Structure 1
């Protein structure tokens, strides 16, 4: 009888131990699940930025594709100005004139001109009427002319500027090519995206050249048209864009410059390249893929 009780007492602790161990595993699993949920966006961003699924040949999950970058990261790489809207810009056509807005000074000038015209008509009437019928209001003519002279002098408004992020390339001492961001102050316009891309095509200015910047965009390249819709900037380049004197590294470099400069705007996430208005799958004889919109994670 005593032996039986002892054996039962020995079995009880083992059941309690297994129950505690199971509870610990459940708690640990819950903690891991909570941490994953909290950091889900960060984990998805890291997988998206590193191109993990593309490199391994696996299909990228939907939650990784839709992952949004943290606001702090987006703010660091975005320009403060908006790019062009969904309306296409054709650089071969005549640039549309900006609507003229009436100003108080202009309205006053027009009123003064009308008054001056009325004064001239009154003067003509005087010449045809006898001197005895000379109007008593004649002295007012000088005052009206004085008002016209004062309103003509209008000061021109100062030109507004904007700061845009541009991307050029640098060549290190070991021969490797690296991307470099610069902040350039430019004249403000209604199409800052077009201005930024044209600035990259033209190349760095004197101060940027001193810091080692250079452009790898093919010489003779021109931006024919540009439009932005649903986060994709469609940029149409001339045929020179398809061939680069520096080979495949030059082609990749010029694509990086354009993509990084365009996606520095808050409403642009990718760039669809066109050559002479045509959508092509590969760029140049070396075959660099441009068949789908390219983003920063494409490089």
Structure 2
């Protein structure tokens, strides 16, 4: 069984010149669990992972594997596997040769190449040039590369991005199997719906700051109830619900949205005031809509974090 350790990120800040890509980021990922690192494009996910893997220097704070920085790990290929891009392959090289180069560089046994090709279902395509691979095949090859050293920790940047439904299903099952073996898995994504059935824990980042951490079910905890409601006397209804503690909005389509009261409380307040309702419906908040609300400001902002990361892509930790 692979030796697994937690991932610990503490008070991590990274600045690119005048741009703060991530600020005071703190979270952890535990063995035997899949942790989703979620946020819109440009929120700071890739920057955080690059610092974690020693590809960029932290301005302040730490990012470690069980207390040890990546650069200080003994035999890092056997401790940590990573896949940060599906476009790091030489298009004229076969999948098998790509893995052989990595295997030799890491000082691993040659048999590991065939073992990981089998594990990700790529044996039949291993002698084809990577330039002819689909996105799904490149994602599998990236996973194979990450698994070469049979590491206890996996760090994956957008592993489900661009996959078709069959590919997403395969990736979901595969990652759950890896976690069941006791590995620590940290994966990033900008689309919660693609990973909601995969992750155990979530870390949500927006504009470089953590806005929520916890178990997946905690994402919905503490979110205020919202109810779509209407009446012939809309002004009286609005005043009644405001007095009961709700915040009232009037969307473009006319009815009221009461935030802070559930449907039962809204109905009781209207009944007590003698106001007949023409509409009463809780606004269903699925995980994706909650995620979008948590990150709404970031999604609307200019993607300066990504621009900064690209400008400093050559930065490598000393």
TM-score w.r.t. structure 2 length? 0.21
Larger relative contact order (Cα-Cα within 8 Å, sequence gap ≥ 6):
2
TM-score w.r.t. structure 1 length? 0.22
Structure with the higher helix share, 1 or 2: 1
